[in-house]
Structure 1
Amino acid sequence: MDKDTILDGKVNLYKRPSSRFWQCSAYLDGKNRRASTGQESLFEAKLFAEEWYLTLRGKMKDGTLKNAEKTFRQAALQFQIEYETITQGQRSPAWVRGHKDRLRLHLLPFLGDLGLSEVTSGKVQEYRLHRIETARGGKPPARNTLHNEIVTLRQVLKTAIRHGWLDRLPDLSMPYKTQGKISHRPWFSPKEYKQLYQATRENAQNPSRPQDKKHAEDLHDFVLFMANTGLRPDEASNLEHRDIDIVEDAATDEVILEIEVRGKRGMGYCKSMPGAVMPYRRLVQRHKPEPQDKVFPVNHIRMFNTILRNTGLKTTRDGKRRTAYSLRHTYICLRLMEGADIYQVAKNCRTSVEMIERFYAAHIKDTIDTAAVNVRRDPKKRNRSIAAEILDEDAEREPAE
């Protein structure tokens, strides 16, 4: 390998056997830097290397010399490649697409060209301010919207850490954060649930069009089935008749459904309330299915929403929209109101106790033990104890005879 130096050995020049161009290198600001001169002549290469070195020295003095590092855009691209491949079949396509949309629409335009070390806690706070100030129509993005964007940002930075492009994760927590307002997911109270199934029963008996009778009957049984099992809508859509067994439960001596569930959390099991048995039997009698057939092959969402609007149940008093998911929330809330063990409810619904406590138990008045809260001491005993303490103190102060 041909070698040479300039500027008292501060810049090295060398030519690899596999290349016809001279290369130059120098150690500056704690890093060994290299560049190709693009010159075959040693004289021309020395001129290029001298100018290159002096330019780097000037940038170092001005504080504009940056170590070569991966950008946020490169880490985001790597994250998208890995995430979609590794989570295939474990995350819904809509959730994966959400990460891509948040990167494309918001994160990359603001952070894309920055080096990974420049994505600091302060820069993330600037991003939050930017999102609020540039919101369409002057309406700031919802708390959950910003939260999801920070989740995507954290996933990208964790990808960079795994590849050694970043040494640590910056603090991404929300500064000046106040405790989130306690709210509950839209559900049907016992009175509202009764109003709903009475409306779906009336619709099944007297549909607006004769050709809709079968669909109306299926919708009525769907409402009863979902509110007595707590299944997620996607779990119900994946449900096949071979996944359901009608059994007599040994613990309660009641006939229930044992369901093998496949959905968001993979495979799990559910034991229904007795109220789910009759709707399921009606579905079987009506459709006479094969074991591999879907229990709910048709989506009745349009008819369901029409009934919700006609009965005034589409939105809660807080303005939240009710959907088929609200039937799952109703199941959980009704079980808690009846005093069911929160761990068993979480297990039967394939979720965590933390989720139950956060989104459901906080607004269920029946979960508060009145006997434990409304404790009152006997006023007479309390007064006697105070009087005894006073007498003891006086006795200690009396002089000994």
Structure 2
Amino acid sequence: MSPPKDAPAERYQLFQREGSTRWQMRFSLRGHGQIKRSLNTDDHAEAVRRADEIFYEAAYRAKQGMSAKVHTFEAVAEEFIQLILREVERGERRADQGKSEPSLIRRFFVGYFGQKPIDTITDTDLERYVEWRRTYWTEGPGKLITHIEYERGGHKLRRPPKRTAPALSRQRGEAVVLRALLRQAVKWGYVKTPPTVSIRTRKAPDNRRPSFEPHEFEKLTQTSLGRLTDPIMDGTGAEVRASDRRTWRIKRLDDHTRRDRAVLHAYVMIAAFSGLRPTEMYNLTWGDVVGYREGRGKGIDQRDIRLKARGKGMSGTAIPHKAAIPWFDTLWMMFERGMQREPLDTDPVFANEQGKRIGSIANGFTELLKAAGLERDNRGIKRTPYSLRHFHISEQLANGAEVIDVARNCRTSLAMIDKHYGQVRLERVADRLRPEWTRA
């Protein structure tokens, strides 16, 4: 190592390591210890200029109560991750945060800011980050990633990434983590005043799931029942146009079409009277219809059932209205007729002619909606089978059911009830808003 060369006013020392022509600097500030930095130049005059700049910046930082050393975003992020893991271990954070937040920080925050000194990040940098994050999986680095690895139940799994922009709720959730990281950097003395993390997202659209008004649901069911009869009975029938321009009307339903429409009608009624999700309807087996076998042959008033709902990563028991029971009877009889035996507990409730689980009723449901003129709600949003669940919950609330009971029975949270299902028209609860004591 060459002998140190004194810089002006003894502020710092310049030196060259043995075997290197690059200049280095070292200096000390009270309360901050010794600081060493490479100046990345062979020229002595340029080394002095850079050393002055570094020294005065460090002195200013120390005077402002910050760390005299420059800390990169990546280094601070890793320190913050270790803090998260310690807090999880002490029970101060949820265990899932110890898995999700480190990967979020490394993939997105460090992926963008990297080696940038954390105290130089500005509001403008954050604005640019937001746009980069929105296009990460479609135009940015994520477009080259073929799969994402994760762990569940002690097993390492992988899934393909979603090639879409993150949902607004996810963007806001990530902003909370980034804000916490920057606030912690202030506490550690790495930043004097953090930039404002105001991730401006467009106002969330009205994403309430489309439902049915009572008169619309009545029209839907009447249309569905009407589609079970032969067209010749009411003088109508779908018009068919051949490629040679010949036209004719269908005068009789084939057995396959009639059966499909009967299953669809039962699906509509059970979903509306139970509030099950489409995935829960799909997974439903006869063993999940608790109490059904014991009640067969009895009147509806003497029967009761419970539904074991499985889907969306959760399970639970649902209490349906008794009005759903006759439609289970319909599906039971159709299974018996097609398979020449009673359904087993493992057989699907919604089965095709071969007794196999029906993959989806979405197309048939859309055709029914078109026939009833109810394909879209008053906002122009297309209805789906999920609209039957929304109808169920909205009707429960409109008819005085307690919100917490509805949430538990439908295996959802009070927040989700308020966000998606609580917007019941005031006219339908007018009587509850005008109690007896207010009436003249």
Please classify the TM superposition score into its range, dividing by the shorter chain length.
Answer: 0.5 to 0.7
The partner residue of 1:317 within 370, 378, 381 is 378
% identical equivalent positions: 22
Following superposition, the deviation at residue 15 of structure 1 comes to 7.0
The partner residue of 1:194 within 218, 222, 229 is 218
* In 2: Cα distance, 1:358 partner to 1:230 partner: 17
Establish whether residue 238 from structure 1 lines up as the match of residue 283 from structure 2: yes
Following superposition, the deviation at residue 239 of structure 1 comes to 2.9
* Contact 2:398/2:424, CA 8 A, preserved across alignment: no
Establish whether residue 271 from structure 1 lines up as the match of residue 319 from structure 2: yes
1:226 alignment counterpart: 271
1:291 alignment counterpart: 345
* In 1: Cα distance, 2:122 partner to 2:317 partner: 44
Establish whether residue 375 from structure 1 lines up as the match of residue 373 from structure 2: no
- Aligned pairs, how many? 332
Classify the secondary structure of the residue corresponding to 1:228.
helix
1:340 alignment counterpart: 401
1:307 alignment counterpart: 368
Following superposition, the deviation at residue 341 of structure 1 comes to 2.2
Following superposition, the deviation at residue 34 of structure 1 comes to 4.1
* Contact 2:271/2:389, CA 8 A, preserved across alignment: yes
Structure 1 residues 138-186: Cα deviation after superposition (integer angstroms, max 9, x where no partner): xxxxxx964543334335555x479x667599765689x99x9999542
Q: Normalising by structure 2, report the TM-score.
A: 0.56
* Contact 1:70/1:165, CA 8 A, preserved across alignment: no
* In 2: Cα distance, 1:115 partner to 1:236 partner: 53
* In 1: Cα distance, 2:429 partner to 2:120 partner: 48
Structure 1 residues 288-325: Cα deviation after superposition (integer angstroms, max 9, x where no partner): 54433443432010111122123211111122221111
CA gap of 1:122–1:316, structure 2 versus 1, over 3 A, is: same
CA gap of 1:156–1:321, structure 2 versus 1, over 3 A, is: farther
Structure 1 residues 107-160: Cα deviation after superposition (integer angstroms, max 9, x where no partner): 9999788666666777667878999xxxxxxxxxxxx964543334335555x4
* Contact 2:275/2:392, CA 8 A, preserved across alignment: yes
Question: What is the one-letter code of the residue matched to 2:71?
Answer: A
Following superposition, the deviation at residue 330 of structure 1 comes to 0.4
Classify the secondary structure of the residue corresponding to 1:267.
strand
* In 2: Cα distance, 1:47 partner to 1:187 partner: 75
Question: What is the one-letter code of the residue matched to 2:280?
Answer: E
CA gap of 1:120–1:229, structure 2 versus 1, over 3 A, is: farther
2:71 alignment counterpart: 68
1:149 alignment counterpart: 171
* Contact 2:73/2:115, CA 8 A, preserved across alignment: no
* Contact 2:73/2:110, CA 8 A, preserved across alignment: no
Alignment of 1:249-260 (within 5 A): 255-260=303-308
The partner residue of 2:410 within 341, 346, 349 is 349
Question: What is the one-letter code of the residue matched to 1:67?
Answer: V
Following superposition, the deviation at residue 59 of structure 1 comes to 6.8
Classify the secondary structure of the residue corresponding to 2:382.
coil
Following superposition, the deviation at residue 200 of structure 1 comes to 2.5
Question: What is the one-letter code of the residue matched to 2:383?
Answer: R
* In 1: Cα distance, 2:207 partner to 2:224 partner: 28
* In 1: Cα distance, 2:117 partner to 2:56 partner: 21
CA gap of 1:12–1:214, structure 2 versus 1, over 3 A, is: farther
Following superposition, the deviation at residue 335 of structure 1 comes to 1.5
Alignment of 1:157-168 (within 5 A): 160=181
Instruction: Structure 2: state its 5+ residue gaps.
Output: 62-67, 86-94, 134-165, 189-193, 231-251, 336-341, 351-356
* Contact 1:3/1:12, CA 8 A, preserved across alignment: no
Following superposition, the deviation at residue 267 of structure 1 comes to 2.1
Classify the secondary structure of the residue corresponding to 1:268.
strand
* In 1: Cα distance, 2:284 partner to 2:121 partner: 45
* Contact 2:12/2:55, CA 8 A, preserved across alignment: no
* In 2: Cα distance, 1:31 partner to 1:219 partner: 76
Question: What is the one-letter code of the residue matched to 1:188?
Answer: F
Question: What is the one-letter code of the residue matched to 1:262?
Answer: R
Q: Which has the higher helix share?
A: 1
Structure 1 residues 354-383: Cα deviation after superposition (integer angstroms, max 9, x where no partner): 433444344343444244387267xxxxxx
Establish whether residue 329 from structure 1 lines up as the match of residue 390 from structure 2: yes
Classify the secondary structure of the residue corresponding to 1:256.
coil
CA gap of 1:31–1:208, structure 2 versus 1, over 3 A, is: farther
CA gap of 1:27–1:181, structure 2 versus 1, over 3 A, is: same
Q: RMSD across aligned C-alpha pairs, in angstroms?
A: 5.5
Larger displacement relative to structure 2 (21-30 or 148-157): 21-30
* Contact 1:4/1:13, CA 8 A, preserved across alignment: yes
* In 2: Cα distance, 1:289 partner to 1:118 partner: 68
Structure 1 residues 330-369: Cα deviation after superposition (integer angstroms, max 9, x where no partner): 0011222322222211211122334334443443434442
* In 2: Cα distance, 1:166 partner to 1:208 partner: 73
Following superposition, the deviation at residue 192 of structure 1 comes to 0.9
1:389 alignment counterpart: none
CA gap of 1:120–1:146, structure 2 versus 1, over 3 A, is: farther
CA gap of 1:172–1:51, structure 2 versus 1, over 3 A, is: closer
